[in-house]
Amino acid sequence: MVVLNEKEKEYISSKIRDVHDFPKPGIIFKDITTLLNDKEAFNFLIEHLTQRYKSFDFEFITGIESRGFILAGALAATLNKAFVPIRKPKKLPYTTISEKYSLEYGIDEIEIHIDAFDKSSQRPPKVLLIDDLIATGGTAKAAIRLLKKIHVECVEACFLINLKFLKGDVEIAQSTPIYSVLEIF
């Protein structure tokens, strides 16, 4: 499996800005816009993901709204795969199915088009799931449940950043392989 070495991880990490007390006091937000607007760093990241996933067996890349769209869309274009968005409620124009998940301050929901995947093959469609960050894992777990609901196989869940100390990856790893470019302990 293709993974970054420590020097490469430090390079990517140096391009991500910490924003203190956003969205609320005590939170350190990992702002990837500084990585995205550095063309060398962004291209390096997408090339790394391309090398990692070029030999995987899947037809679709799905990204979770909103920063996951950026990574998933760029990788889908590079690998010549189809891109499928997973969105917040009432953002998709056609018939959707949804999955709710708990937040520390309430309930949220994600949706996908009911016909997002070509199911003409004898086997279930295979998908790579991408998001920018996994913290407590609520959104990612909901996305994987959503994919299972529509009989799609998730070959791996990929995250640019994994906040390991929050353990959001633990439950996901029991059913779906996970790759994190950067892990923060």
Q: Is 67 a catalytic residue?
A: yes
- What is the DSSP secondary-structure string of 132-179? EEESS-HHHHHHHHHHHHTT-EEEEEEEEEEEGGGTHHHHHHTTS-EE
- Of 6, 10, 47, 104, the catalytic one is 104
Q: How far is it, in rounded angstroms, from Cα 12 to Cα 34? A: 10
What distances in angstroms separate CA 130 from CA 94, 122, 134, one per listed residue? Answer: 22, 25, 10
Q: How far is it, in rounded angstroms, from Cα 5 to Cα 36? A: 20
Q: Is 65 a catalytic residue?
A: no
- Of 67, 87, 111, 156, the catalytic one is 67
Catalytically annotated residues: 67, 104
